[in-house]
Amino acid sequence: MERNPLKSCTVIGAGNVASHLAPALSPWCNVRQVFSPTYDNAVKLSGKIGGRCEPIADLCNLDCGSDLYVISVPDDAVCAILDATSGIDHGLWVHTSGSIDVDVFKGKKSRYGVFYPLQTFSKDKPVDMKSVPMLIEGGTDEDADILLDLAGKISGNVRIADSGIRRKLHIAAVFACNFVNFMWTQADDVLHASGLDISILKPLLSETFAKIDSMSPYNGQTGPARRGDRKTIEKHLGMLSGAKAEIYRLLSDKIYETYHE
């Protein structure tokens, strides 16, 4: 294998994932272009990378000679990107999605893979990429190795994961991260009505979070539904309405069923 087969890359997308991945890649692999349909976003991200990174908003201007193409767009948009770039079959193509099978590239690109950072990103919140688990898949073993090597430069936590495992990880991450954050939004809303906010719950949240280091979440469950304390559940439901009441009822029922049936 060539010592550094990925000298240059093109990043397609300028959203939450691309905004962290492109700057992390750039010391190892020259990011020559950033594409976003919203030109301002492409400008912003290429500015973060510096050097001679070119912002583009039209896929017709895509560089045909990059060693690596990173498609980092909403899952819904990956196929459209592949169709719009059907004229380019140079280099190694990867997407960064937890949910899309590696086969999406089959018949469309000769060399392909997946470069999935298992982390939640927001554009303006710095993330230590070194600790982000990078889950890699390659269309061939050789391309998997090339991608593993690149991933190993930006993260200390790299592993091969096929599409089936990646999908399960993504579902788990939706529960453990996206849904968890949404629960915090509900709590914050409830507290705002009393002139408080979620900061008063920080010690509780820290403890809840620390607990999973010492016991399984199954064993760490507490609260009215875990205790089967229906009186409290009904009292709380009486104070909630709309989405909050629906969520409270369903989750209390499911916790109750998990521990009492």
Residue 86 interacts with a copy of itself (CB under 8 A)? no
Size of the site for a copy of itself (CB under 8 A): 90
Tell whether residue 186 is a contact of a copy of itself (CB under 8 A).
Answer: yes
* Binding region for a copy of itself (CB under 8 A) out of 34-42, 81-89, 115-123, 136-144: 115-123
Pick the binder of a copy of itself from 90, 120, 149, 153 (CB under 8 A). Answer: 120
Taking residues 143 to 162 in sequence order and writing x for each that binds a copy of itself by CB under 8 A, - otherwise, the string is: --------------x-----
Burial category of 185 from C-beta neighbours within 10 Å (exposed 0-12, middle 13-18, buried 19 and up): exposed
The answer to the question of residue 81 lying near a copy of itself (CB under 8 A) is no
Under the binding rule (CB under 8 A), the answer on residue 83 touching a copy of itself is no
With beta carbons less than 8 A apart as the criterion, state whether 256 and 225 touch: yes
Candidate residues 2, 86, 107, 231; the one interacting with a copy of itself per rule CB under 8 A: 231
Examine residue 80 and tell whether it contacts a copy of itself (CB under 8 A).
no
Question: Residue 168 is encoded by which pair of tokens?
Answer: 């399960």
Residue 163 interacting with a copy of itself (CB under 8 A): no
Measured CA distances, 218 to 22, 31, 211, 222, 255 (Å):
38, 44, 11, 10, 10
In angstroms, give the least distance from the CB of 18 to a copy of itself: 14
Alpha helices per DSSP H over the chain: 16-25, 39-49, 78-84, 141-154, 163-173, 180-192, 202-214, 217-220, 224-227, 230-238, 242-260
254 lies in the site for a copy of itself, by CB under 8 A: yes
The residue within the footprint of a copy of itself, chosen from 38, 47, 80, 204 (CB under 8 A), is 204
Q: Which is nearer to a copy of itself, 31 or 118 (CB)?
A: 118
Distance (Å, whole) CA 101 – CA 162: 9
How far apart CA 36 and CA 44 sit, in angstroms, is 10
